[in-house]
Structure 1
Amino acid sequence: MAYGFYLYGIFPTPGPVGLALEGLDAQPVHSHAIGDFVFLYSEAQQKRYLSSRKNLLGHERVLEQAMEKGYRTLLPLQFGLVIKNWTSVEEQLIVPKGEALRQLFQRLDGRREVGIKLVWNQEAELEALMQENDLLRAERDRLEGKTLSMDEIVRIGQSIEHAMTVRKDAIIQTCRDRLNTHAVEIAENDPLPSVPGMIYNAAYLIPWDAEPAFGQQVDQLDTQFSGRLTIRYNNFTAPYNFAQLEAE
Structure 2
Amino acid sequence: MSSLYLYGILPASSVQLAAEGLDHQPVQTHEMHGFTFLYSHAQQDRYLASRRNLLGHERVLEQAMEQGYRALLPLQFGMTINDWATVEQQLILPQGEKLKHLFVKLEGRREVGVKVFWDAEQELAALMASDADLRAKRDQLVGKPLGMDQVVQIGQAIEQAMQERKQQVIATFQSELNSLAVEVVENEALTESMIYNAAYLIEWEAEAQFGQQVEALDQQFEGRLRIRYNNFTAPFNFAQLN
Name 2:217's counterpart in structure 1: 221
Query: C-alpha separation between the residues in 2 aligned to 1:241 and 1:182?
Result: 17
Q: Distance in 2 between matches of 1:224 and 1:215?
A: 14
Partner of 1:49: 47
Is 2:229 the counterpart of 1:233? yes
**Does the CA-based 8 Å contact 1:15-1:71 persist in structure 2?**
no
Query: Does the 8 A contact of 1:189 with 1:202 survive in 2?
Result: yes
* In 1, Cα distance between equivalents of 2:121 and 2:106: 41
1:58 is the counterpart of 2:50:
no
> Under a length normalisation based on structure 2, what TM-score does the superposition of the two structures give?
0.97
Task: Tell me how far 1:227 sits from its aligned partner.
Answer: 2.9
Q: Equivalent residue for 2:5?
A: 6
CA RMSD of aligned residues (A): 1.1
2:112 maps to which residue? 114
Partner of 2:182: 184
Structure 1 residue 92, shift from structure 2 partner: 1.1
Could you list the per-position Cα deviations for residues 206-229 of structure 1 after superposition, in whole angstroms to 9, with x for gaps in the alignment? 000000000011001111113321
Deviation at 1:100, TM superposition (A): 0.5
Q: Which runs of 5+ in 1 are unaligned?
A: none
Rounded Cα–Cα distance in structure 2 between residues aligned with 1:231 and 1:14:
39
Q: TM-score, normalised by structure 1?
A: 0.95
1:14 Cα deviation from its structure 2 partner: 1.9
The amino acid that maps onto 1:235 is: N
Which residue identity is paired with 1:242?
F
Gaps of 5+ in 2: none
Matches within 5 A, 1:30-179: 30-179=28-177
1:161 to partner: Cα distance: 0.7
Moved over 6 A (4+): none
What amino acid does structure 1 have at the position aligned with 2:192?
Answer: P
Identity across the alignment (%): 62
Q: How many residues align?
A: 242
User: Residue by residue, what CA displacement relative to the aligned partner does 1:68-125 show, whole Å, maximum 9, x if unpaired?
Assistant: 1111000000000000011111111111111000000000000000011111100000
Match of 1:200 in 2: 196
Retained in 2: the 8 A contact 1:7–1:40?
yes
For the residue of structure 1 that corresponds to 2:63, the secondary structure is helix
**Conservation of the 8 A alpha-carbon contact between 1:16 and 1:66:** no
